[in-house]
């Protein structure tokens, strides 16, 4: 990958370009469709542009706030900073901000719309459970997301789904309030316009949801590969995966639910038990068995054993 020593992944690059192109086409069609069904132009511009600016420039702050995370200094978290410093030197990449979220949910994530604003965050639950080698492997996984720029792509890709979801909710509420009132100048009734907006938004949300899920699953496998090759210790990443997945079932359901909206950005999804969220089609991550099998293959290639 240009700009870092993480192994390049043309498959990831191709998928990111394809996903952004498809979402771009979907986005244009979405705006045109909203205009054709009668959504006021001023409201359309305010919602679309407003959400775009908000999502792009504040996504990292929103994620940090929602997770109760804060940036920590080297004096506050010397071991964590030492791991990040070492990996950034190995990867030849700028050091991102380092944050810690005070939650027992064992996880980590990277966020930020570009490398200069990138943040790598771990939870106190993760720091408590992993040894240094395992922590290094997980941080390398998150840094690869920053290096490959898929964090930025996922942030932009999530924007369309957020707008569509917002318009779906607002359209339903507006339709309920206006009821059967008639429109002006023999135009369609406000309730009809609202329901058409809901229909268009729901379809767009579903399509954008599926596209981002497909990309999300592949990028996790790509990050596992990149981290394993950078550290040369795929077994440490496999050990971290197994340990976190096993402990996730012991986390209170209320804590898992608070973390669930960020599953697409987490190292491993915040869900209890085994298997996938609803089905493999809707999962944010590939099955842990597939991730462990890939790491075992890399171990054999590197000659380090299982």
Residues with a catalytic annotation lie at 142
Contacts of 235 (CB under 8 A, 6+ apart): 295, 299, 304, 305, 306
Q: 256: how many CB neighbours lie within 10 A of its CB?
A: 17
Tell me if 285 is assigned to a ligand binding site: no
- Asked if 260 and 192 touch (Cβ cutoff 8 Å), the reply is no
Label residue 13 left, alpha or beta by phi (over 0 means left) and psi (-120 to 50 means alpha): alpha
Tell me if 136 is assigned to a ligand binding site: no
Burial of 78 (0-12, 13-18, 19+ CB in 10 A): exposed
Per the DSSP assignment, residues forming a β-bridge with 119 are 97, 111
Tell me which residue has tokens 């071991």: 79
CA angle (286, 289, 290) in 5-degree steps: 50
Tell me if 141 is assigned to a ligand binding site: yes
Q: How far apart are CA 1 and CA 107, in angstroms?
A: 25
User: Residue 67: CA atoms inside 13 Å, Cβ hemisphere, count?
Assistant: 37
Would you list which residues are annotated within the binding site for Zn(2+)? 141, 145, 220
Please enumerate, by residue number, every residue annotated as part of a binding site. Answer: 141, 145, 220
């Amino acid at each position: 990958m240009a700009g870092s020593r993480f192994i390049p992944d043309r498959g990831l690059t191709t998928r990111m370009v394809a996903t952004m192109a498809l979402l771009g086409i979907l986005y244009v069609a979405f705006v045109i469709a909203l205009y054709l069904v009668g959504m006021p132009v001023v409201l359309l511009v305010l919602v679309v542009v407003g959400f775009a600016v908000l999502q792009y420039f504040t996504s990292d702050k929103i994620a940090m706030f929602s997770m109760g995370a804060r940036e920590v200094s080297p004096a506050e978290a010397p071991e964590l900073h030492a791991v990040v410093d070492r990996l950034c030197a190995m990867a030849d990449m700028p050091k991102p901000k380092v944050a810690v979220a005070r939650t027992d949910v064992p996880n980590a994530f990277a966020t930020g719309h570009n490398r200069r604003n990138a943040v790598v965050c771990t939870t106190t639950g993760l720091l408590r459970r992993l040894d240094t080698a395992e922590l290094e492997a997980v941080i390398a996984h998150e840094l690869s997301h920053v290096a490959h720029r898929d964090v930025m792509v996922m942030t932009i890709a999530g924007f369309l789904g957020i707008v569509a979801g917002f318009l779906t909710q607002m359209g339903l509420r507006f339709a309920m309030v206006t009821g059967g009132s008639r429109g002006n100048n023999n135009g369609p009734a406000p309730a009809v316009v609202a329901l058409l907006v809901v229909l268009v938004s729901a379809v767009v949300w579903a399509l954008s949801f599926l596209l981002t899920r497909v990309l999300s699953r592949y990028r996790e496998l790509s990050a596992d590969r990149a981290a394993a090759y950078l550290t040369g210790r795929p077994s440490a990443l496999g050990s971290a995966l197994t340990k976190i997945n096993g402990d996730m079932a012991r986390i209170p359901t209320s804590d898992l639910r608070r973390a669930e909206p960020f599953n697409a950005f987490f190292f491993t999804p915040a869900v209890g038990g085994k298997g996938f969220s609803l089905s493999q089609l809707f999962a944010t991550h590939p099955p842990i068995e597939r991730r462990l099998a890939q790491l075992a293959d890399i171990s054999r290639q590197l000659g380090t054993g299982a």
